[in-house]
Amino acid sequence: MTQEPLLDLDNATFLPVGSDGPQLSSVTFAISKGDHTYILGKAGSGKSLLVKSIMGLIPLATGRYMAFGRSMKDPDNLILHYIRKKIGLLPENGVLINSLTIRENLVFPLKYLNQNKNERPYERIDLILAEHQMEKIADLYPYQIGVNAQKSIGLLRAMLFSPALLILDDPYEGLDQDGIRLFHQYFQDILQNQHTTILLFSRKPIQPTGIFKRSLLMERDKTFRDAENEKTNFLVFPEKI
């Protein structure tokens, strides 16, 4: 029995509201459960645009885009809410909300998205913070902590609802060696639960061993195609950095 892909884009073109023309066109790409994917692209190659398009922030103009079996052509709020809850996201910019403390940043999705009224969000977050030895920074604001900690908190927040798909947009940006090591450790933990599939976009060819099953290359002004279907734009990274 073949599994339905988590994301399925076929010749999709995305047109940002108010823009003169499409900034991302002819995207053909699919990702299924367990299909951990690493996409490498230089700055300006359209990685963040693709992430925003996947999340439904940039409307689909032509082609086909299915997310978790739902068509993303003019999706209503219910569909958007459904897929955004299924996808855990670590964005490139604005990882955390600056006006909220670290604890409030983590509580944020639980408070405003969770339908479970019996859950006590602050208690759950305090447990998570204690588990990751981050209790000390709970009451600090994002600007008071380093990039490693900010991105780690962002990743913890992305994993709060045990998403089916975890999208990481340039997670290595600004991280030092410790941060990168920590992230690779998180990836190993995520792999162990076998529920979440990782889709990582990066401008740096840093790839941990034995995590990603396939690697793709994204280039500006070139058609972005799934390497398994088309043998173009495929890049195999060395096993070790």
Residue span binding other proteins (CB under 8 A) among the ranges 5-13, 96-104, 198-206, 214-222:
96-104
Contacts with 92 (C-beta within 8 Å, 6 or more apart), sequence order: 47, 48, 51, 169, 170, 173
**Which of residues 80 and 211 has its CB atom nearest to other proteins in the complex?**
80
Q: How far is the CB of 81 from other proteins (least distance, A)?
A: 5
- Tokens representing 166 are 């975890």
Candidate residues 7, 15, 40, 89; the one interacting with other proteins per rule CB under 8 A = 89
Structure tokens at 52: 């925003």
Q: Which residues from 181-240 bind other proteins, rule CB under 8 A?
A: none
Residue-wise DSSP of 113-129: H---TT--HHHHHHHHH
Determine the Cα–Cα distance for residues 155 and 178; give it in Å rounded to an integer. Answer: 15
The DSSP output letter for 144 is: G
Q: Which is nearer to other proteins, 94 or 238 (CB)?
A: 94
User: Which residue from 93, 100, 91 is spatially nearest to 155, judged by alpha carbons?
Assistant: 91
Min dist CB 168 to other proteins, Å, is 13
The residue within the footprint of other proteins, chosen from 6, 27, 39, 95 (CB under 8 A), is 95
Footprint of other proteins on 34-63 (CB under 8 A)? 52, 55, 57
Rounded least distance, CB 223 to other proteins, Å: 25
Q: How far is CA 135 from CA 41, 140, 144, in A?
A: 36, 10, 14
Is the CB of 116 or the CB of 133 nearer to other proteins?
A: 116
- Of the pair 111, 195, the CB lying nearest other proteins is at 111
Q: Is 94 an interacting residue with respect to other proteins (CB under 8 A)? A: yes
In whole angstroms, what is the distance from residue 39 CA to residue 204 CA?
10
Applying CB under 8 A, among 61, 80, 128, 145 the residue interacting with other proteins is 80
DSSP structural state of residue 122: H
The structure tokens listed for 201 are 């976009």
Backbone angles phi, psi at 2, to 5 degrees: -85, 140
Q: Give residues in contact with other proteins (CB under 8 A).
A: 52, 55, 57, 80-81, 84-85, 89, 91-95, 97-99, 108-109, 111-113, 157
